[in-house]
Amino acid sequence: MKKKFFITGTDTNVGKTFISCILLKKAQKLGFKSVGYKPVSSGLTIIKNTQKFNQDAYLLNKYSFKNFSLKKINPINFNQSIPPHISSKLNKKKISFKKMSHGLKKISKDSNWILIEGAGGWHTPLSNKKKFSDWVILEKLPVLIVVAIKMGCINHAILTKNAIINSKLKCLGWIANHIYKKKEIYYQEYITYLKKKLNIPFIGEVKFLKNNKINFKNLKLNILFI
């Protein structure tokens, strides 16, 4: 049985990629052939064999069950670290839903647990007319939310969850990600409140990752919901 789902965040820079890497490894421990797919990315910062690649795509590939070509993991990418709809306009390169779907179909042949990572938040635009969420709706993908624990996260999390539900998609649950080293006393109150108000499964909580180093042993995420 193949599992496919889309991972979004309450904003940009909320730790979607690092959470995705953890989930990919957790799935492998349960016996799945897990792979990460980044259909659209902005910013090519990793240099390998004189070629530039997107860091998120590079990490997703690194933590997948086997190495794929980065072009297969990330079929549409832009050099500039700016929103994809602006990069698309500057480079005169349209972001095609057909190409995104074709890439997903190709990578699905090689695995049975596919994590598709978005860019930014739920309503990230890919053009003046199309949003990333439009493609997710087209593909009928269930969605997982990464919530960065910070001021404003309650509002962002509830709005994101409601937008997903209003799109008639299944919301698999949410993960609380501590993106700051200093843990404010009220952060736990945020999580307690969201557990009650989001009314979707709570997958788990990820503590601050020093230097972005992932310690898989200490990260308890219940991915049986997914």
Residues catalogued as catalytic: 38
Stretch (H or E) spanning 9: strand 3-9
For the chain, the helix, strand and coil percentages under 3-state DSSP, each to the nearest 5: 40, 25, 40
Taking Cα atoms as reference points, which of 46, 144, 124, 141 lies closest to residue 84?
Answer: 124
Give me the count of residues in the chain: 226
Round to whole Å and give the CA distance between 173 and 150.
Answer: 19
Contact assessment for residue 118 and residue 6, using Cβ atoms and an 8 Å cutoff = yes
Contact assessment for residue 164 and residue 191, using Cβ atoms and an 8 Å cutoff = no
Other beta carbons within 10 angstroms of residue 53's beta carbon come to: 21
